Amino acid sequence: MQYNNLGCAGIKVSALSLGAWVTYGEQVDEDVTFKCMVAAYEAGVNFFDNAEAYGSGNGEIVMGNVIKKTGWKRSDLVISTKIFWGGDGPNDSGLSWKHIIEGTNAALKRLQMDYVDLIFCHRPDIETPIEETVRAMNHVINQGKAFYWGTSEWNADQIMEAYGIARREHLIPPVMEQPEYNMFKRQRIEREYIRLYKEIGLGTTIWSPLASGLLSGKYNQGIPSGSRFSLEGYDWLRKRLEGAEGQKNIEKVRQLSEIAKDLGCTTAQLAIAWCSKNPNVSTVITGASRPEQVDENMKALEVADLLSEDVLDRIENILDNKPKPLPNFR
């Protein structure tokens, strides 16, 4: 495993990590969660990602139980949670001072931990002044309940606003973003955030490297039963797949599978390796519903070494979606 600094921060995260969304505390039982997390840990993963919203809190409960059961040393781990969707009441969601403090306390209780290493604002909250959120995150860190704070799916201007307020008010600035990044979703990481890597040392913990499994090639011949796209409540994924864009993407995955075959790897490994190759990606958060998937995905770093300029050009030709410079790009 390779360990990267989280942007300009001193903390080091494994280049590949494991997250709970959809799967742990929801799709699979605690025994499978245990096996997946152990497989990841044994491959060198130190970062496990979570959110108060995952499985309505069950994601944190099962991951916390596994960590307790294994007896892993807390200082060997980087644990995150994300605050935004904590319940149905008017003050159970968003990024107010109140919800950030109450949401963090509840998450720590579910995780059975005194602190998380990373805490994210899971989405921007247009109903709360950014200054209030920055002050609340500063307070959470000063109380020792988290070590670093960041954002998820905030645009570059919102991140810069938070950073500017923190600097002006002598508060702790955000250091990381958690955006979606995969072969089909490239604009933010490859274009929008470019100046943030240089100007504020932004680190990134990217999500859905397989576009929810699409880039593993498992949907090339339809939707296998038990897969994420077949789950109840995920019709939006199925609809997306059945649309024109989805069908185009499936055709691209079929062609990517040919490249994987030539390299002697799986399509999933190729897709994860491609994400990890981007120097602005601090860690690729993988997801897995079976320990065998973890074993397969964790070998992606070896595949990254095989991605020569020629191979990357072949991939680029298939994807045909290289982000264009922004009009005011500098």
Residue type, 51: A
The yes or no reply on residue 297 touching ligand NDP (CB under 6 A) is yes
Shortest Å, Cβ 232 to ligand NDP: 13
Host H or E run for residue 82: strand 78-83
- Calculate helix-pair angle for 156-168, 130-142, nearest 10 degrees: 60
Angle among Cα 59, 63, 67 to the nearest 5 degrees reads 170
Site string for ligand NDP, 21-40 (x = CB under 6 A): xxx-----------------
Nearer to ligand NDP, 202 or 310 (CB): 202
With a CB cutoff of 8 Å and minimum separation 6, the contacts of 290 are 28, 32, 36
Smallest CA-to-CA distance from 290 within 35, 54, 43 is with 35
Q: Is 163 a catalytic residue?
A: no
Using DSSP, state whether 41 is helix, strand or coil.
helix
Nearer to ligand NDP, 25 or 198 (CB): 25
The yes or no reply on residue 47 touching ligand NDP (CB under 6 A) is no
The yes or no reply on residue 99 touching ligand NDP (CB under 6 A) is no
Query: Which one among 289, 301, 304, 315 touches ligand NDP, defined by CB under 6 A?
Result: 289
How many residues bind ligand NDP, per CB under 6 A?
29
Window 184-223: residues binding ligand NDP (CB under 6 A): 207-213, 216, 218
The yes or no reply on residue 104 touching ligand NDP (CB under 6 A) is no
Query: Which one among 33, 104, 152, 249 touches ligand NDP, defined by CB under 6 A?
Result: 152
Task: Give dist(CA 245, CA 157) in Å, integer.
Answer: 29
The yes or no reply on residue 282 touching ligand NDP (CB under 6 A) is no
The yes or no reply on residue 227 touching ligand NDP (CB under 6 A) is yes
Stretch that binds ligand NDP, among 102-110, 187-195, 288-296, 310-318 (CB under 6 A): 288-296
What 8-state DSSP symbol labels residue 289?
Answer: S
Query: Which one among 7, 124, 174, 287 touches ligand NDP, defined by CB under 6 A?
Result: 287
Stretch that binds ligand NDP, among 137-145, 155-163, 168-176, 291-299 (CB under 6 A): 291-299
The yes or no reply on residue 65 touching ligand NDP (CB under 6 A) is no
Host H or E run for residue 176: strand 176-177
Task: Give dist(CA 281, CA 224) in Å, integer.
Answer: 31
Task: Give dist(CA 279, CA 34) in Å, integer.
Answer: 31
Window 235-254: residues binding ligand NDP (CB under 6 A): none
Contact 284, 182 (CB under 8 A): no
Stretch that binds ligand NDP, among 1-9, 20-28, 61-69, 88-96 (CB under 6 A): 20-28
Shortest Å, Cβ 253 to ligand NDP: 12
Nearer to ligand NDP, 57 or 213 (CB): 213
Contact 245, 252 (CB under 8 A): no
Whether the CA torsion 214, 189, 288, 119 is positive or negative: it is: negative
Residue type, 238: R
Length of the chain: 330
The yes or no reply on residue 288 touching ligand NDP (CB under 6 A) is yes
Max alpha carbon distance in the chain (Å)?
A: 55
What 8-state DSSP symbol labels residue 211?
Answer: G
Per annotation, catalytic residue among 24, 41, 54, 193: 54
**Contacting residues toward ligand NDP, per CB under 6 A:** 19-23, 49, 152-153, 178, 207-213, 216, 218, 227-228, 268, 285-289, 293, 296-297
Known catalytic residues? 54
